[in-house]
Amino acid sequence: MPPKALPKPVVLASKEQSLFKELLSLYETRQYKKAIKTADTILKKAPTHGETICMKGLVLTNMHGKRDEGVELVRKGLALGLESHICWHVYGLVLKQEKNYAQALGAYSRALKYDVDNMNILRDAAQLQMQLRQFDQLVQTRHTLLTLRPTMRQSWVALAVAYQMSGDLEKADKVLTSYKSMLKNVPDYDYEHSELLLYHLRIMENLG
């Protein structure tokens, strides 16, 4: 038998696209009841839109007594959106809620296959790589995040920490040295900069 064809992605009309963006915002701000209403409005027009079904399921997993229903919807939505980074990311979030970290990371990896530079998914993946002590992979993820946001201090520090956790103090030192060489006009009372200097000193002490 030939392989089963993937479901054809449903493309939302302009109005429903706007509602979907609103749905994402409502989830982020934990306005769950409004999020459910918004999802239902979209699904009236596009009942097989996998991403909306997944998001509705994710919202339900955060509502009291609705988790099982939510997980079922997420699985249904994923089956309809196997090439959607949103569906795989949502599935990963649900697995993470269940403390199934290895499978959650696998879902994030699938999500990144369809949206390589998605900052939110990369950050979530990095968190689980740290949790699972997958430090070589963590270095790669943090390097990607630094490439995407080279002006953010946190991007540099996080990469240095990743190198430290992987046992490569020399590269951690180089990352912090490179970052410090870029700095100009640092305020005298910049607490975060002081913390960075102390961290770099500890790295250099450990290097001997």
pLDDT at 4: 59
**What confidence tier does 9 reach under pLDDT thresholds 50, 70, 90?**
confident
> Per mean pLDDT, which range of 35-49, 90-104, 136-150, 185-199 is the poorest?
185-199
Based on its alpha-carbon atoms, the radius of gyration of the chain, rounded to whole angstroms, reads 21
Q: How much is the pLDDT for 94?
A: 98
Average pLDDT (168-196) is: 88
What confidence tens digit (pLDDT) does each residue in 81-101 have? 999 999 999 999 999 999 999
Q: What is the CATH number of domain 133-208?
A: 1.25.40.10
Domain map (residue ranges) of the chain: 133-208
Percent of the chain, pLDDT > 90?
86
3-state SS of the chain: helix, strand, coil percent to 5?
75, 0, 25
**pTM of the shown model:** 0.89
State the DSSP code for 74.
H
